[in-house]
Structure 1
Amino acid sequence: MHRLLLIDDDEALAGPLRQYLARFDFQLEAVTRPSAAHARLADERFDALILDGMLPEMDGFEFCKRLRGGADTWRDIPILMLTARGDLTDRVVGLELGADDYLPKPFEPRELAARLQTILRRTRLAAPVAPAQPASASKLCFDGLEIDTTRREVRGASGLVELTGTEYELLLMLAREPGRVFSRDDILNRLRGQEAELYTRAVDILVSRLRRKLEPLAALKTLRNAGYCFALPVRATGAGAMT
């Protein structure tokens, strides 16, 4: 049973949605204000959030931003944003702030269930497991960058690089095969776990966000009309560890 927290000021939405999502082994809890959501998150564990873009106290985009920059226990929680009109601007802003997916209102409950299943499946598959090799073999080391796949940590010359779960998975996907060009469709299908009606601009936004966090390293290379690849050279054997 997956526990979901719905944050939406439409009180009439929670009841029918709770009944429908129960068919898919989801337990839905609901609040109407960000302050109430903060209180619930502080005391309880949830597997994902369904977050409306328009809320009292602060809008859903600001709430998403605060979650992603807040306590460790909340930072990586999967977030599905609901946008009132499905406008491109709303989708772009939500993804830039760290949302894992979006769904425009009005929506079909079955599509919501499918997208939640995809987000949670991706999170489950990405969960770290005990390495079968020595700890040193669990690190991907490049000039100016280290990726610790056991701790799910990324370090640059200036220290720890704070990434969302989706940003980390994108970086790991590219860095495991340096120089390989991944198309936008490759990235969408790998990260989303299924083909969906997602515009390729979503990938561009995600790459741009990741690229900014990795600056000044030129780690991600864009190949026009082809896709993206990881461009940092592998660190020479015997080079010192980064601090």
Structure 2
Amino acid sequence: MSMLGSEPVLQAPQRVLAILGMHRSGTSCLTGSLQDAGLELGDCHTWNPYNKKGNRENQAFVDLHDAILAANGGAWDKPPRKVRWQQEHYEWARNILAEQTMTGVFGFKDPRALLVIDGWRKVLPSLEFVGIFRHPEAVVQSLANRSQLARDHALALWFHYNRALWHLYKKERFPVLCFDEGEQEFQAKVASLTPQLGLTREEHVATFYDRSLKQYCGESLSTLPWRVRRLYQNLRKVSV
């Protein structure tokens, strides 16, 4: 990172996109689909036990986010009430971006990013966003399978993460997708977004979406707490 006077000059890709959403909500599918269209992800995971195509997370970002949450007494499944970045976290973030100074559009995906996003907005004011959400019951079922989380805990996490997504949307007005839709509709909406995201790979083949990995679905809202139900309905209203 070079210096101009006393102010650091940030070295970063020309455009950086954060893919935001709650765990088990389609963030991997969205990120992989955007990668098909030309989004650069750096060194990302291409396989894990719960997603044979990989969660498309760059471990450098995950490690930073885990460290920030831990420094605030929390974790991905125990969100802190307030999150404060320390100076070392800002330097860490700048160094990660400096290692990704490539041509084109660079993106990162980690559900934890929703919990620490204010720090990223300070590091990179030009940061762009695209979000995704999913029916609370589908997320509850998936988290029970992956992490053995109790229903009340999973619903509380769904609400915390998606409330952060909603609040950020109201400030920034970025595209938000719903992962409850069918494959064709989802793919069509991703394709319609790629030009505005600066992704211009011509005649790309969308190969990431895999119906076999989408094992859970949500239907009724009637058994959900009112605040969860209302937040889901608000997100549906603004989704593309």
Which structure has more strand as a fraction of its residues?
1
Bigger Rg, structure 1 or 2: 1
Q: Which has the higher contact order (CA 8 A, sep 6+)?
A: 2
